[in-house]
Amino acid sequence: MERLSVDMEKAQLKEYVNLMQRPWQLIFRNFLAGTARGVGIALGFTFFAATIVYLLQVLGALNLPIVGDYIADIVRIVQRQLEINPY
């Protein structure tokens, strides 16, 4: 019986049952978790996209024969799009 009690404490069964008895608390926790996930994804994608644009600008400045023109076109398109739709 003692072992069962210890195992139930480790599983935090009491906290889970209390959470299930308060649905608004569960909804609030899930809302916060979803918001944090969304903000994390947005920040991560912004950092990733900015890094890619920066690398493309650096590669475009190297004046590579074929690749340089292609990269320069992509950078121009992105810059033009940012000028048209500033966020």
Q: Is the pLDDT of residue 85 over 90?
A: no
pLDDT in tens, 43-81: 999 999 999 888 878 876 776 677 767 777 888 888 888
Q: Report the chain's mean pLDDT, rounded to a whole number.
A: 83
Residue 57: C-alpha distances to residues 32, 60, 80, 87 (Å): 37, 5, 14, 21
Q: Between residues 3 and 13, which one has the greater pLDDT?
A: 3
Which residues are within 8 A (CB) of 64 and not within 5 positions of it... i.e. 6 or more apart? 71
Q: Give the pLDDT of residue 16.
A: 79
Q: Give the pLDDT of residue 40.
A: 96
Mark 6-35 as b/e (b = at least 16 C-beta within 10 Å). Answer: eeeeeeeeeeeeeeeeeeeeeeeeeeeeee
